[in-house]
Amino acid sequence: MFCLSKHPEYVQRIQAEVDEVVGDGKPTFENLKSLAFTMRVINESMRLYPQPPVLIRRALEEDELAGYHIPKGSDFFISVWNLHRSPKYWDKPEEFNPDRFPISESVPNEVTQDYAYLPFGAGRRKCIGDQFALFESVIILAMLFRRFDFKMDKNAPAVGMTTGATIHTSDGLYMNVSPRSMPELMKKADEADRPALKIPQEAVKVA
């Protein structure tokens, strides 16, 4: 939401994709394959704000890495945050650009990006729920933008960031939410499918 609030052109592309793929129906597992741009938005968001920002691994054997002696039992702290924002591996790394992952290519992961992209870790200790998390995120984002428009609240405090096991906002993310102006046919189907929602007039904390 934070990244998209700065790029309304990407929001329009998500909404156009959802309208075309899902239309006035309910999302299905098969729809996921066609929500390619929405998936890339999630992928790029995880590049800029990886969860978690740091991975820890332990040397099971004595080894040597780039000329450094690694004693058995040494702990490695891998900064995914720095890796994902390194100009050595990414063009304009601080820029939010979902198109850096073309929809004509495979969904990015640690293998396709030569281990410069580790939102879920890698190897045998990789997050076991990575695919479920991706599918869930795509469906949630698609359905939210299908029905609503989101804008940053102008009176809200600046969005701060803090880290621990994960990255999150320090004081929340406040946005103004309004019903989206959908094509009339889709609007009728959407209203028939779900009860009417009361949209608060004040800013809503979304994160």
Q: What domains are there in the chain, each with its CATH number?
A: 2-205 (1.10.630.10)
Asked if the model's pLDDT at residue 48 lies above 50, the reply is yes
Measured CA to CA in angstroms, residue 33 lies from 105, 108, 135, 138 at distances of 12, 14, 10, 10
For residue 74, the model assigns a pLDDT of: 96
pTM for the full model?
A: 0.85
Asked if the model's pLDDT at residue 182 lies above 70, the reply is no
Residue type, 77: F
Integer-rounded Cα radius of gyration of the chain: 20
Q: How far is CA 184 from the centre of its chain?
A: 30
Highest mean pLDDT among 103-117, 160-174, 189-203: 103-117
Residue 127 known to bind ligand:
yes
- Mean pLDDT score across all residues of the chain: 89
More confident of the two residues 194 and 156: 156
For residue 190, the model assigns a pLDDT of: 57
Q: 10 Å Cβ neighbour count for 143?
A: 14
- Give alpha helix (H) positions in the chain: 2-5, 8-21, 31-34, 36-48, 80-84, 130-147, 184-193
HSE-CB at 139 with a 13 A cutoff on CA atoms is: 14
Asked if the model's pLDDT at residue 163 lies above 90, the reply is no
- The string of pLDDT tens digits covering residues 127-138 is 999 999 999 999
- Of 50-64, 87-101, 135-149, 169-183, which range is least confident? 169-183
Q: Which residue has the tokens 């891998």?
A: 78
For residue 191, the model assigns a pLDDT of: 58
DSSP assignments along 127-155, one per residue: -TTHHHHHHHHHHHHHHHHHHEEEEE-TT
